[in-house]
Amino acid sequence: MWHRTFWSLVALCGVLLVASFHEHGVQAAPAGPDAGTAASSIAASSSETSSVAECGAADLHASFRARDAGAGHRFGVSRLRNTSDRTCVVQGWGGLSYVGGGDGTQVGAAADRDGAPGRRVVLEPGDRAVSAVSETAAANYPRARCRPAPVDGFRVFAPDSTRSELVAHRTTGCRNPSVHLLSHRAYRG
């Protein structure tokens, strides 16, 4: 009986290995005289991807696109478009917060990070990376706790950047920094 369990586990490991190769874009090298060439081209492709420079704030343009709403929440995506003439990468979360007052002053708490850090996203010129954004409506909180304030938009930071971009998005936020209205996921391609 134990041998059936053993062979079932071996088969499962094989399926997971193949699925992992497929998800990460790894291809099996062909057998025969060209096997060495194929293996070296796969290795070169992998090292080229890891040597691509990180996108800087000057390489990217931020925008926001609303998607859906319901039950006191709004959903959308923060988008970073590579506006440079070179390939670059982003990975992980950027920074996101509400701003108001007509001068970019932060309103309330910055967005909470949701989910795993994500993989490297290679952006060719013109490509975009997106981060799912969830907004809780300020009206869900008592006025005395929230201290509502008009919001002009978002302050968006690219991952690992200290330079931000303001993106128009009128709504109402909470001045109380202990009320967390925003969350966002890591950027993905």
DSSP SS3 for 79? strand
Q: Which residues pair with 170 in a beta bridge?
A: none
CA distance 140 to 105: 23
Contacts of 58 (CB under 8 A, 6+ apart): 84, 163
Sorted by where each begins, the domain ranges of the chain are: 57-185
pLDDT tens for each residue of 147-166: 999 999 999 999 999 999 99
The dihedral built from the CA positions of residue 110, 116, 120 and 123, taken in this order, carries a sign that is negative
Which residues of the chain fall below pLDDT 50? 2-3, 5-7, 9-46
pLDDT at 103: 95
CA distance 166 to 99: 8
Third-level CATH fold of 57-185: Immunoglobulin-like (2.60.40)
Terminus-to-terminus CA distance in the chain, angstroms?
A: 46
pLDDT at 16: 42
